[in-house]
Structure 1
Amino acid sequence: MSPTSDVDPSVPHIARMYDYYLGGKDHYQVDAEAAEKVLEALPAVRIAAQANRGFMHRATRYLAAEAGVRQFLDIGTGIPTEPNLHQIAQEQVPSARVVYADNDPLVLAHARALMKGTPEGRTNYIQADATRPQEILDAARATLDFTQPIGLSVIALMNFVPDAYEIITTLTAALAPGSHLVMTHLTADFDPEGVAATATVYRDRGMHCQPRNRSEIAQFFDGLELLEPGVVPIHRWRAPVEPPKSRDAQVPGYAAVARKP
């Protein structure tokens, strides 16, 4: 893959490593090498990545089809992998509006080509960093109506940014009642050694990585109304088929959806 403008192919990036886990081709050798180190620590990380995608699909479908949400803000989008969030939302509600945000210029290059929504709806992309949430909110107002409910999606992101609690507080404070927070987060609860080694891989390459336990992850939802089944392993959130208990160690993360009263 040839370098894209403003992309440093000598430094691994979370989005491109995630693309590697999902079997994509939009990454550099440095991303693949770092991802392989994670695979040594967590051999089932590809299963975890797929579990995150499955949860995003289920949560988005619920919000659009059942909760009456017509607008979505997805932060930490990553390399587009179909079906994308806007495709799930607009399949249920063709007029849905979706804004994506990510800080990797390579994501931007793909977003321009791939993130095209329905004629009735709107789909937009913001090149922005999750550590500057106010900038994301300001830019999103060009597409989203913040007086109406919004589904805020932060999938596999908050464990990779410092000041995560403050970021979520800033974002949710700007949302109207009836909005929802959709989140997954890395945990060491099921595989302490593997997740610790994984965090070391990221940190050694200059990327923040902070796993949290279930109670710490639940704190992100303070002041919000957690939907059933609460904070649960990612693959267990409203799964169509009850997963085997052995799957928990392969998917070292929690998921939850909560409504802003």
Structure 2
Amino acid sequence: MHSFGHHAWSHVRGIERLSLCDWPGHAAAVLFTGGCNLRCPTCHNAEMAWAPGRLPALDRGEVLGLLSRRAKWLDGITVTGGEPTLVPGLMDLLTDLADLGLPVKLDTNGMRPGVVRSLLAAGLVRTFAVDVKGPYAKYPALTGDGVDAATARTNLEAIFRMAAQAPGAFYFRTTRVPMLQDEDMDTIRGLLPAGFTLVEQKYVAPQRRTDAQTDSQARQLPGDLVPGTYRPGHIQGAQGQRHQGSHPLQAAGA
């Protein structure tokens, strides 16, 4: 394996052994990668996204062994974050997962369409779950100034073009955070390629450690990573809603 493959595993900071609601219609294990290129103030994975260094990396061999032992009970694996498309050597990590014989869903905010395009072409991801935060004009506020409206539009339009060409490989979702009104949800639906239905996720306010940082408090890390930590457990999809629970290494037990 390329050395980047092992480096990619150093970004895996949490695992959920079984989720029945993360990938609709699938019993899935969930891997969490640390770091994000956005600073959404409503993030349920704030600690994982903003300070991945606070969490120990999970051991590649132990995780693959766990997934291999549980494969007969699983329909797939979700890779989420944070933002997985930031991980160096992500393709090698996904190749490791493909060797288990299970399909992979990848959660993304869509801000790195070039990575999504490469993964789609390689056939390493069965489904991309893309979080559309809101109308383009609201992206700066919704993402803690993590991305401007014009950049969000450019990136998402590239994703939408891919989805139009490979409709079975994508679905789109939006968490109805307090900033979004009915007309905003209508605007988002209008952005999607023909034939796609927006999955609307209910917003639940995050329960966050008192020392968790948001927005302008967050210190930018090299490689567009934003400092935080994470605790496993979720409601609907990692990028949208996740509760905080046990330590990730505890979650990785057999």
- Same fold by TM (over 0.5)? no
Q: TM-score, normalised by structure 2?
A: 0.35
Structure with greater contact order relative to length (CA < 8 Å, sep ≥ 6) = 2
